[in-house]
Amino acid sequence: MKNPVYLKILFLVLSGILGILGGIEFWELRHYKETVVVSEDFTEKIMLSEYLPSLKGTWGDTPIYIYDSGVPGGSMLILGGTHPYEPATSLAAYVIMENIEVTSGKVYIIPHANMSASTLGMLGNAYIKYYHIETQWGEKKYRVGDRGTNPLDQWPDPFTYVHYPSTQNLAYQDIRNLNRTFPGRPDGTLTERISYAIMELIRNENIDIFFDFHEASLMYPVVSTYVAHDRAMDISMMAAMMLSATQFPMKSEASPKNLRGLTHREVGDFSNTLALLMETPEAFIDRVVGRMSEELMLEGKDEFLQTAAEKGLVYCDYDINEGFPDALGNMIIGTPMDYRVGRHLSGTLEALNWMNQFFPDKAMSVTFPNYVDVMTNGSGYYLHDPSKADPSRVFEN
């Protein structure tokens, strides 16, 4: 039986309406800009394409914020948003950017290392697109992106991803995963070129210490951990011990030599920097959690994950009822955003402190809010109102 043409057109129109409604949301996420009010010590903003011109005009190009004290000292690079679906990483970078004081040395911060990946949501699971942070002057809205580069910018994926230069075979989708494409190559895929440009930044600017901020599911053994390249192991072990004794539980792990493409391995191998990666606990990305809401992203409380924790299946402290105490006596209930941001802040400061002690020739003096500050006042306290700030200090990402 032949169906009437008007019915086919009707279905097409209805699907078109759904397509437009969905498309508007996708378009808004792709083009939404986050604002940041940089601190008074900010000196310059450049683009990553300065280190690899072929990135210019692509969604792989991303801003680099520079804070140069003008006083001789070491240099530091911080990456937030290598995996944008781990949003405490970019938020921690923003808190640093808005409050940092640099009295010696030079600091480079890239809040969205994979800008392209921050412009789409995760497939499946009804992931949220944005999250909001309460401040003293109102709400700030931030994107929650994907793990890998947007397929609109890098497509198709191969059947097998052969990592360059190791030739190790990796999962096909990891060709769009910035933390599997280091050290990259200048004539590779978009993600490989982003990696290469970051490597060029590290090599050309003689970056002394490199931090790659991440978040991990609680059922992943490397959660709440520093992962350190060989040369940074002393720093990471001392920093982890100090943090565990004085602030929050932190582990330290050596970067595996047979797992290629990750920053803590390749950045250390292909430059002289001290490479560290940090993982905080993000309940939102655990496979067993229930409804994936903004509340789960910000508070990290999930009853299914609680059951997993009670069965000994998670690799860090987790309790959604009474919480667990940190070294300062705070009761941590779930995995709140402030806890995760604070971990990155103090994790950076503590490692920097130990670099200064182990390598006095690379010493630098930097201050910004730490774990105690953020746990006391909240992350939003340290985010400034763009409408009242000097316009020359307001940027969009």
Partner 1 sequence: MLVFLDTIIHYFYFVMTGFFAILLLKNLFKREKRKGLIYDIVYSYVIMVFILRVIGIK
- Cα gap 209→176, rounded to integer Å: 25
CB-based burial label for 13 (10 Å; 0-12, 13-18, 19+): exposed
Question: Residue 71 or 162: which CB sits closer to partner 1?
Answer: 162
Instruction: Verify binding: residue 14, partner 1, rule CB under 8 A.
Output: yes
Q: How far apart are the first and last CA of the chain?
A: 55
- Looking only at residues 30 through 49 of this chain, which bind partner 1 when binding is defined by CB under 8 A? 30
Complex with partner 1: residue 5 or 360, whichever CB lies closer: 5
Q: Does 15 bind partner 1 (CB under 8 A)?
A: yes
54 forms part of the interface with partner 1 (CB under 8 A)? yes
Minimum CB separation of residue 345 from partner 1 in Å reads 35
The residue with tokens 């759904």 is 18
From 79-87, 183-191, 216-224, 342-350, span contacting partner 1 (CB under 8 A):
183-191
Contacts of 192 (CB under 8 A, 6+ apart): 164, 181, 184, 185
Q: Report which of 50, 276, 54 is spatially closest to residue 185, judged by C-alpha positions.
A: 54
Q: Which of 64, 113, 120, 276 binds partner 1 (CB under 8 A)?
A: 120
* Chain center to CA of 42: 21
Q: By CB under 8 A, tell whether 256 contacts partner 1.
A: no
Q: In 3D, which of 315, 137, 146, 361 has the Cα closest to residue 223?
A: 315
Q: Does 195 bind partner 1 (CB under 8 A)?
A: no
188 touching partner 1, by CB under 8 A: yes
Nearest residue (CB) to partner 1, 3 versus 321:
3
Check binding of 1 to partner 1 (CB under 8 A). yes
Q: How many residues form the binding site for partner 1 (CB under 8 A)? A: 29
* Apex 116 CA angle, 131 and 46, nearest 5: 100
Of the candidates 250, 322, 314, the residue with the CA atom closest to the CA atom of residue 287: 314
Only one of the segments 99-107, 153-161, 164-172, 221-229 lies at the binding site for partner 1 (rule: CB under 8 A); that segment is 153-161
Contact 116, 149 (CB under 8 A): yes
φ and ψ at residue 290, rounded to 5 degrees: -85, -130
**Piece of the chain touching partner 1 by CB under 8 A; list 10-18, 107-115, 127-135, 210-218:** 10-18
One of 46, 47, 71, 152 touching partner 1 (CB under 8 A): 152
Q: Report the residue number, 7 or 126, with the smaller CB distance to partner 1.
A: 7
Instruction: Establish if 27 lies at the interface with partner 1 (CB under 8 A).
Output: yes
Q: Which is nearer to partner 1, 64 or 120 (CB)?
A: 120
CB of 11 to partner 1, least distance (A): 4
Q: Is 360 in the site for partner 1 (CB under 8 A)?
A: no
Residue whose CB is less far from partner 1, 193 or 265 = 193
Q: Which helix (H) or strand (E) holds 95?
A: helix 88-99
> Closest Cα partner for 98 from 67, 71, 68?
67
Q: Which one of the spans 185-193, 204-212, 213-221, 312-320 is the region binding partner 1 (CB under 8 A)? A: 185-193
Cα dist from 170 to 152, 206, 261, whole Å: 21, 30, 9
Q: Near partner 1 by CB under 8 A, which window of 26-34, 201-209, 319-327, 334-342?
A: 26-34
At residue 31, φ and ψ (nearest 5 deg) are -110, 0
Q: Which range touches partner 1 (CB under 8 A), out of 8-16, 64-72, 78-86, 218-226? A: 8-16
19 part of the interface to partner 1, by CB under 8 A: yes
- Say how many CA atoms lie within 13 Å of 100 toward its Cβ: 34
Q: How far apart are CA 115 and CA 83, in angstroms?
A: 10
- The residue ranges that bind partner 1 (CB under 8 A) are 1-3, 5, 7-8, 11-12, 14-16, 18-19, 22-23, 26-27, 30, 54, 120, 152, 154-156, 187-190, 193
